[in-house]
Amino acid sequence: MQKKIIITGFGGQGVILAGRIVGKAAAIFDKLESSLVQSYGPESRGGACSVQVTIADEQIHYPYINVPDILVCMSQAGYDKYRDIITEDTILIIDQALIKLNTPFDCYAIPATRLAEEMGLKMMANIIMVGFLIGITGAVSLESAKNTVSESVPRKTVDINLKAFNRGYEYALDTLKSCRKKAISDTGVVQ
């Protein structure tokens, strides 16, 4: 088993932290192997910024990702940079308010930044996105993800971060439910 995840956005959104939460949840709490490489440099403030997380049940040799199993985009520039390497098997996840799609592939969309603004904390968009990512893909277990969120943010902000995580997670469950309903009405088959 190997899952390759790229999360991309612009510097300041907490893209790296989002990746670290997923990687750490897999490595420490799910007892898997995980490697994380990140873009590093002056561009990490305001410019395009990305993190590549590989999760596996065996040793990971090469930590860079050619074709992601999951691509999470939190900025147009990030999406534009990676859209050409994805395939129809890639699970594409976007912040729908920030990205205009021009690929033929389906995607899972969440207005993470707008939801964060509604909660009064725009900077939580990354945690909402992690919740959504885990809800849609099950890349790591729910418990592990929550534990890691709690450990990875300042102590005073644990509750609000967990709330943000749950907001994204529930949005994912609703999304999956409506996908199933749509599938039933399209085909008449209960899957």
Site string for other proteins, 38-57 (x = CB under 8 A): x-xxx---------------
Interface residue with other proteins among 17, 33, 147, 150 (CB under 8 A) is: 33
C-alpha span between 11 and 14 (Å, rounded):
7
Rule CB under 8 A: say whether 1 interacts with other proteins: no
Interface residue with other proteins among 12, 46, 63, 138 (CB under 8 A) is: 63
Rule CB under 8 A: say whether 186 interacts with other proteins: no
* Complex with other proteins: residue 15 or 98, whichever CB lies closer: 15
* Complex with other proteins: residue 22 or 172, whichever CB lies closer: 22
How many chain residues touch other proteins (CB under 8 A)?
A: 18
Rule CB under 8 A: say whether 61 interacts with other proteins: yes
Name the residue among 63, 62, 86 with its Cα closest to residue 73.
Answer: 86
Rule CB under 8 A: say whether 58 interacts with other proteins: no
C-alpha distances (whole Å) from 95 to each of 22, 34, 44, 114, 188 are 18, 25, 19, 9, 31
* Complex with other proteins: residue 41 or 182, whichever CB lies closer: 41
Binding part of the chain for other proteins, among 17-25, 88-96, 124-132, 155-163 by CB under 8 A, reads: 17-25
Closest contact distance (angstroms) between CB of 75 and other proteins is: 20
* Complex with other proteins: residue 4 or 24, whichever CB lies closer: 24
Binding site for other proteins (CB under 8 A): 20, 23-24, 27-28, 33-38, 40-42, 61-64
